[in-house]
């Protein structure tokens, strides 16, 4: 078809029928070829889609298997440890006593999370198999059905194009025929006109004479004959010319109609036919992929919720609370014994320190010695305590270093996919780990040596302080007694009555009233065991 | 130790040495038993922790294996389809032409996501093995080491307790001894006093006489002897009493000191010892679990990012854009051919419809017939189009129903773990699916039948409209010609010059200028092919 734009065409522009009809046939043939190719293209497109859908189905079928395997492995893993826990003695105890340690709680939640992941991946597998794959198969069916229907419509469109181009060919041929006849009639007319002209030039001014000498019959007859022929040819020419005009008009009208239909086909109909093939394909594929995405997003949400539960448990890892739970669980072992009572001998009615003369002076001396000794010891031990606290802080800093961020391990950049965890490598490199642990253990050893020192000091202080306080109280009383009355301290107050044991219900709460902290936080001075009577000791209760 | 609170105790309250010492020994024994039990309890606690850590290690070792298996399966799955794609002809074409269809893009992204998940689960496995498990092993080591060190300190504490209770026992025994002696001295003194008193009552008012008759020596000697004995016994009593007082004071001071040390031990030291055992356990376990959580959260974030990429691609699933890409890819097949040109026959210089008499009347009649026919056809076809649009809307509603929410399948309630996807069951139940599909296909069939009807109508309209428009133009010219000049239309304008072909660069853009939409959206009227000249047809370019 390239001849259209070549300057050389112009010489062929007005050509004989044979050449022009060949040109039109060639144009029509090109279009028909395109139509065939268009069908092939659409068919190929449908086949590609069916192939894609088959691949997707195969992909999800296999992924469903993988998810199910993964789910089963996780389930087995969780069950292995869960059954171990169920059968263990401790678990029974925990369950019974509701004394679940925070660390054990974390472990149970890790197992719960594993079970949750297992269930979620099984659900994912189920959705792939019973939903995603089914949808994909349906889309394949739809494509096949719609391609058939669209092809029907395409065939109809093509038949229309063939029809109009055939019509165009026909009307063009008619135009050619009438135009040929018209040309022929025109040339015949021209011949006649030439003959007539020749006749006129032969007889010179004969015509002038003719008016005067109209007796020259033979010449007049010849002229009339020529005129008649010319008239006849004129009529024939006009008739052919009219036919040719009508045929050309028809050709031109058909030409414009054909061009309109062809244009419509290429601009609208081909596009509409493809739309018919596509009908719902993208929407259905989108819904299928959204099903997949919804499943994946929901799995992720579920996973996140589970991780949040674990994170919360890790936030609540609490050594103090665990310590109290352990002591509470073993309250018979950790319950303070009753204090040693003064046991008077054989009717001895004195139950207090005597600070009367002659021992008073000696006790006073002892009291003052204790006082100054205690002051020195306390200062010394306070120094040890400060070192201890600082060491503990150092240890705590080592123990709580935030070395657990794994985000670098999961960065995906297309160019550096193989880059491994930086943080992990830094924190977990053998050299660093060894260094950090050596440092930690050194600090730990120092802490323990200082702790022993502090313990010795504070034990001594507690004993001396107890004696000091008792002496202070006694001497104070003695002084008061000296001032008021001369009654000797040998007349003792009546021995204290023992309290009746309280009803059980009062003791029926936790060791240290469930709050040892308040106890531990009180300054390190002697509590008379009387002050501790509100402690509930199950051991005691059990004995009563 | 229950005797403390029994009312019955009171009768034993002041008892002989043997009984009291037995009581104290019993108290001490009870405490020592507790201390042993406390060690056992801490040891058991450490063992539980080591067991827990072993379980965790074993768990993460196995989970690392599972993650690695999962990762490998996903990798294999992705690779299987990726290699298929790499080797496929279409892929090459897509890559070269950058004509990736939106549906194919989704598929590639699903594969990318699979690879991403594969890498992330491999990373997870790696973190479990080379970080989490290493940390857990270190915590185990720490527990063993710290338990040993804490036990050392505990032994020191226990020795202190044993020491003070032994001291208490010793001072109590001393008190008992001196008190016994004191009682004995007191009774002897009382004997002497009784004797003296007897002497006084025997000798009545003798004492009065004594002042007068101091010659009665033997009686005076006896009295003096008694007095001397009494004095001696008094001295002995005082001495023993002082000794007893001192011993009692010592006993009482030691008692308070012992109680203070015991109280300190139970309230502070036991707790401190447990703290020593615990040192860093919770912090290290928390860091380990946070490493696990960080890895899991980051895996999840990465997964989410990947899913977002797919979701974005699904949002961009676009049938129109895909259609244009396909047509662009096969532009030789879909490029509109050049319009059929008027091919004048053998020097025919007329290239327009002739609307002069005698054909004028006939053409006018034909024009009016076309006009009224077109009006009727357009109304009819507009009705068909409305039905078509409504049917398409119904189809679209069916095709875009939001049936892909899978969240119900992932709800975890502890009581109803086995409950399955409700949405999935509803949408994907065989009966529902069959119903929906039958309904859809029925609508689809109706749509296609209407579409054919519409196509026939619009093809007819387009042809008639083209003829109508050409006639209108011609008749308009003819009328103008009649008014102005009598020159017949048989004297045609010069045949149109053919345009020179444009330079290549102008054509060097996409089919339909990359925007077929604007073309398709224009109303369904005839475009002269001249209007379409700006279309770049690579097919044409290639021919030049």
Chain B contacts of A432, Cβ < 8 Å?
A: none
Residues B232 and B279 in one domain: yes
Q: Is residue B316 part of a domain?
A: no
CATH number at residue B98: 1.20.1270
DSSP string computed for A357-390:
TTHHHHHHHHHHHHHHHHHHHHHHHHHHHHHHHH
How many CB pairs below 8 Å do chains A and B form together?
616
Residues B89 and B203 in one domain: yes
Q: Which candidate from B9, B146, B267 shows the least CB-CB separation from A520?
A: B267
What is the percent of chain B where pLDDT is above 90? 46
Going by the DSSP 8-state scheme, the letter that residue B339 receives in this structure is P
Q: Is residue B99 part of a domain?
A: yes
Do the Cβ atoms of A462 and B268 come closer than 8 Å?
A: no
Chain B contacts of A322, Cβ < 8 Å?
A: 278, 282
Chain A contacts of B433, Cβ < 8 Å?
A: 134, 138
Section A53-69 average pLDDT? 97
Q: How far apart are CA A323 and CA A329, in angstroms?
A: 10
Q: B318 is written with which tokens?
A: 């676009």
Residues B206 and B73 in one domain: yes
Helices (H), B331-358: 331-334
Q: Is residue B437 part of a domain?
A: yes
Chain A contacts of B10, Cβ < 8 Å?
A: 498
Task: Give the residue on B whose Cα is nearest the Cα of A500.
Answer: B5
pLDDT at residue B191 greater than cutoff 80: yes
pLDDT tier at A96, thresholds 50, 70, 90: low
3-state secondary structure of A109: helix
Give the per-residue pLDDT at A358: 80
Q: Is residue A307 part of a domain?
A: no
Chain A contacts of B473, Cβ < 8 Å?
A: none
Beta partners for A345?
A: B15
Section B195-210 average pLDDT? 66
Residues B130 and B98 in one domain: yes
Contact B257 A340 (CB under 8 A): no
Chain B contacts of A134, Cβ < 8 Å?
A: 428, 433
pLDDT at residue A95 greater than cutoff 80: no
Chain A contacts of B440, Cβ < 8 Å?
A: 280
Residues B460 and B519 in one domain: no
> Residue B225: what are its φ and ψ, rounded to 5°?
-60, -45
Per-residue pLDDT of A134-157, as tens digits, reads 999 999 999 999 999 999 999 989
Do the Cβ atoms of A165 and A28 come closer than 8 Å?
A: yes
Query: Shortest CA distance to A404 belongs to which of B127, B119, B141, B49?
Result: B127
Q: How many domains does chain B have?
A: 3
Contact B84 A55 (CB under 8 A): yes
Where is average pLDDT lowest: A462-476, B120-134, B326-340, B401-415?
B401-415
Section A277-304 average pLDDT? 95
Q: How far apart are CA B172 and CA B21, in angstroms?
A: 8
Compute the nearest-CA separation of A513 from chain B (Å): 13
Q: How confident is the prediction for chain B on average, in pLDDT?
A: 80
- CA-based angle A117:B412:A312, to the nearest 5? 75
Do the Cβ atoms of A102 and A313 come closer than 8 Å?
A: yes
pLDDT tier at B441, thresholds 50, 70, 90: very high
Per-residue pLDDT of A425-453, as tens digits, reads 555 677 888 888 999 999 999 999 999 99
Residues 6+ apart with CB under 8 A from B190: none
Number of Cβ atoms within 10 Å of the Cβ of A371: 13
Compute the nearest-CA separation of A206 from chain B (Å): 35
pLDDT at residue A6 greater than cutoff 60: no
Give the per-residue pLDDT at A236: 87
Q: How far apart are CA B172 and CA A346, in angstroms?
A: 13
Q: Is residue A7 part of a domain?
A: no
Chain A contacts of B114, Cβ < 8 Å?
A: 63
How many residues appear in chain A? Answer: 544
Give the per-residue pLDDT at B349: 76
Contact B38 A153 (CB under 8 A): no
Question: Choosing among B92, B170, B263, which should be mutated to test the A contact, i.e. which has the most A CBs within 10 A?
Answer: B263
pLDDT tier at B179, thresholds 50, 70, 90: confident
Helices (H), A88-132: 89-97, 102-127
What is the percent of chain B where pLDDT is above 70? 76
Give the per-residue pLDDT at B528: 35
Contact A459 B261 (CB under 8 A): yes
Contact B81 A285 (CB under 8 A): no
Contact B81 A103 (CB under 8 A): no
Where is average pLDDT lowest: A61-70, A410-419, B136-145?
A410-419
Contact B466 A259 (CB under 8 A): yes
A176 vs B211, higher pLDDT: A176
Residues B36 and B124 in one domain: yes
Residues A327 and A240 in one domain: no
Q: Is residue A331 part of a domain?
A: yes
Section B252-260 average pLDDT? 93
Contact A176 B345 (CB under 8 A): yes
Residues A156 and A85 in one domain: yes
Q: What is the 3-state secondary structure (H, E, C) of A151-198?
A: HHHHHHHHHHHHHHHHHHHHHHHHHHHHHHHHHHHHHHHHHHHHHHHH
Compute the nearest-CA separation of A223 from chain B (Å): 30
Question: Choosing among A20, A135, A294, A475, which should be mutated to test the B contact, i.e. which has the most B CBs within 10 A?
Answer: A294
Contact A319 B281 (CB under 8 A): yes
- Domain of residue A467 covers 352-407+420-492
Residues B462 and B337 in one domain: no
Section A511-533 average pLDDT? 37
Compute the nearest-CA separation of A388 from chain B (Å): 13
Compute the nearest-CA separation of A225 from chain B (Å): 29
Contact B300 A297 (CB under 8 A): no
What is the CB-side half-sphere exposure of residue B256 using CA atoms within 13 A? 25
3-state secondary structure of A345: strand
Number of Cβ atoms within 10 Å of the Cβ of A347: 10
Q: Which candidate from A249, A299, A335 shows the least CB-CB separation from B354?
A: A249
pLDDT at residue B115 greater than cutoff 60: yes
Residues B101 and B175 in one domain: yes
Q: Which candidate from B15, B298, B452 shows the least CB-CB separation from A407?
A: B298
Chain A contacts of B153, Cβ < 8 Å?
A: 448, 451-452, 455
Q: Is residue B319 part of a domain?
A: no
Going by the DSSP 8-state scheme, the letter that residue B98 receives in this structure is T
Chain A contacts of B343, Cβ < 8 Å?
A: 13, 15, 20, 23-24, 172
Q: How far apart are CA B168 and CA B253, in angstroms?
A: 9
Task: Give the residue on A whose Cα is nearest the Cα of B333.
Answer: A34
Task: Give the residue on B whose Cα is nearest the Cα of A267.
Answer: B520
Task: Give the residue on A whose Cα is nearest the Cα of B11.
Answer: A347
Compute the nearest-CA separation of A128 from chain B (Å): 11
Highest mean predicted confidence (pLDDT) among A85-94, A199-208, A320-329, B470-479:
A320-329
Chain B contacts of A116, Cβ < 8 Å?
A: 412
Q: Is residue A414 part of a domain?
A: no
Q: How far apart are CA B196 and CA B224, in angstroms?
A: 10
Residues B144 and B247 in one domain: yes
Compute the nearest-CA separation of B111 from chain A (Å): 9
Residues A209 and A274 in one domain: yes
Per-residue pLDDT of A20-40, as tens digits, reads 888 888 888 888 899 999 999
Contact B260 A444 (CB under 8 A): no
Chain A contacts of B454, Cβ < 8 Å?
A: none
Per-residue pLDDT of A217-241, as tens digits, reads 666 777 788 888 888 888 888 888 8
Chain B contacts of A270, Cβ < 8 Å?
A: 327, 334
Q: How far apart are CA A189 and CA A154, in angstroms?
A: 52
């Amino acid at each position: 078809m390239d001849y259209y734009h070549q300057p050389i065409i112009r010489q062929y522009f007005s050509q004989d029928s044979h050449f022009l009809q060949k040109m039109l046939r060639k144009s029509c043939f090109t279009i028909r070829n395109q139509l065939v190719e268009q069908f092939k293209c659409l068919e190929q497109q449908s086949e590609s889609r069916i192939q894609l859908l088959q691949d997707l189905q195969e992909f999800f079928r296999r992924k469903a298997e993988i998810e199910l395997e993964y789910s089963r492995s996780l389930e087995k893993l969780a069950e292995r440890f869960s059954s171990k826990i169920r059968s263990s003695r401790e678990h029974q105890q925990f369950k019974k006593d509701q004394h679940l340690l925070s660390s054990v709680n974390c472990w149970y939640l890790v197992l719960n999370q594993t079970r949750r992941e297992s269930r979620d991946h099984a659900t994912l597998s189920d959705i792939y198999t019973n939903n995603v794959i089914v949808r994909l198969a349906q889309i394949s069916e739809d494509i096949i059905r719609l391609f058939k229907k669209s092809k029907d419509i395409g065939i109809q469109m093509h038949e229309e194009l063939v029809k109009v181009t055939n019509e165009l060919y026909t009307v063009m041929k008619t135009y050619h025929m009438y135009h040929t006849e018209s040309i022929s009639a025109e040339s015949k007319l021209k011949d006649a006109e030439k003959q007539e002209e020749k006749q006129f030039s032969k007889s010179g001014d004969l015509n002038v004479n003719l008016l005067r000498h109209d007796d020259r019959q033979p010449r007049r007859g010849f002229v009339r004959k020529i005129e008649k022929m010319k008239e006849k040819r004129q009529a024939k020419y006009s008739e052919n010319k009219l036919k040719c005009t009508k045929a050309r008009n028809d050709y031109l009208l058909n030409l414009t109609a054909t061009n309109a239909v062809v244009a419509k086909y290429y601009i609208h109909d081909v596009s509409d036919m493809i739309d018919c093939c596509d009908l719902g394909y993208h929407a259905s594929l989108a819904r299928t992929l959204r099903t997949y995405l919804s499943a994946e997003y929901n799995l992720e949400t579920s996973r996140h919720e589970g991780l949040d539960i674990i994170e919360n448990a890790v936030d609540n890892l609490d050594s103090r609370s665990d310590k109290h739970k352990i002591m509470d669980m073993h309250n018979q072992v950790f319950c303070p014994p009753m204090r040693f009572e003064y046991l008077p001998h054989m009717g001895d009615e004195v139950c207090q320190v005597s600070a009367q003369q002659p021992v008073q002076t000696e006790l006073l001396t002892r009291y003052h010695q204790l006082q100054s000794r205690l002051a020195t010891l306390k200062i010394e031990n306070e120094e040890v305590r400060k070192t201890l606290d600082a060491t503990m802080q150092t240890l705590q800093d080592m123990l709580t270093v935030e070395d657990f961020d794994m985000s670098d391990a999961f960065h995906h950049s297309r160019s550096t996919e193989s880059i491994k965890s930086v943080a992990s490598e830094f924190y977990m490199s053998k050299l660093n780990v060894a260094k950090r642990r050596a440092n930690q253990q050194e600090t730990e050893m120092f802490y323990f040596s200082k702790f022993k020192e502090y313990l010795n000091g504070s034990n001594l202080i507690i004993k001396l302080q107890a004696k000091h306080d008792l002496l202070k109280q006694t001497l104070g009383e003695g002084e008061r007694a000296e001032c008021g009355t001369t009654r000797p301290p040998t007349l003792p107050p009546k021995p204290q009555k023992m309290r009746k044991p309280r009803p059980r219900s009062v003791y029926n709460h936790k060791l240290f009233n469930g709050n040892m902290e308040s106890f531990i936080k009180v300054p390190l001075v002697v509590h008379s065991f009387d002050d501790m009577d509100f402690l509930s000791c199950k051991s005691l209760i059990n004995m009563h």
